[in-house]
């Protein structure tokens, strides 16, 4: 039981403990087979980027091996990874998409 007097202290203690939910980076990984144009279209469709930004991200992945597409709460990041992988597999491409805690 929390008395009226303790109530302020309890609320303060709870508030101190509250951390914002962890965020997750969603990254694309390079491979030698997925067409550049397909990767650009994926970034536009699933990460809401314009064509120019999507092209820059794709080229960064192509050069550096990986590239950041967006940062999201866990459920959203995980859904995006699944949607990208499903789309890529249906199209017959080996594109890899992963999430990492930010
Ligand atoms: N390296 C691929 C090619 O030369 C292009 C590519 C870019 C593939 C980004 C995957 O996540 C990727 N066709």
Nearest to 28 by CA among 44, 14, 9, 12: 44
Specify if 7 maps to a domain.
no
Residue 57: inside a domain: yes
Q: What is the pLDDT of residues 43-82, one digit of tens each?
A: 999 999 999 999 999 999 999 999 999 999 999 999 999 9
User: Measured in angstroms, how far is the CA atom of residue 2 from the centroid of ligand 1?
Assistant: 59
**Sequence-ordered strand ranges (E) for the chain:** 23-29, 66-73, 96-101
Domain residues for the domain of 69 are 19-101
- Read off the CATH number of the domain in which 63 is found: 3.30.1390.10
CA dihedral 37, 27, 83, 75 (to 10 degrees): -160
Strand-pairing partners, residue 99, are: 26
Whether residue 94 lies inside any domain: the answer is yes
For residue 26, list its beta bridge partners.
70, 99
pLDDT tens per residue, range 8-49: 454 455 567 889 999 999 999 999 999 999 999 999 999 999
For residues 80 and 47, the answer to whether their CB atoms sit within 8 Å is yes
User: Which of 26, 27, 28, 31 is the best mutation target for the ligand 1 pocket, counting ligand atoms within 8 Å of the beta carbon and taking the most?
Assistant: 31
pTM beyond 0.75, yes or no: yes
44 located within any domain: yes
Ligand 1 binding residues, C-beta < 6 A: 28-32, 34-36, 39, 58, 61-62, 95
């Amino acid at each position: 039981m929390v008395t009226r007097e303790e109530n302020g202290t309890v609320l303060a203690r709870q508030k101190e403990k509250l951390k914002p939910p962890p965020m997750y980076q969603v990254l694309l990984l390079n491979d030698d087979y997925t067409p550049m144009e397909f990767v650009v279209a994926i970034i536009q469709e699933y990460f809401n980027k314009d064509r120019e930004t999507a092209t820059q991200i794709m080229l960064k992945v192509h050069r550096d091996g990986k590239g950041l597409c967006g940062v999201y709460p866990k459920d959203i990041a995980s859904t995006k990874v699944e949607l990208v992988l499903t789309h890529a597999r249906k199209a017959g491409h080996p594109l890899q998409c992963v999430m990492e805690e930010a």
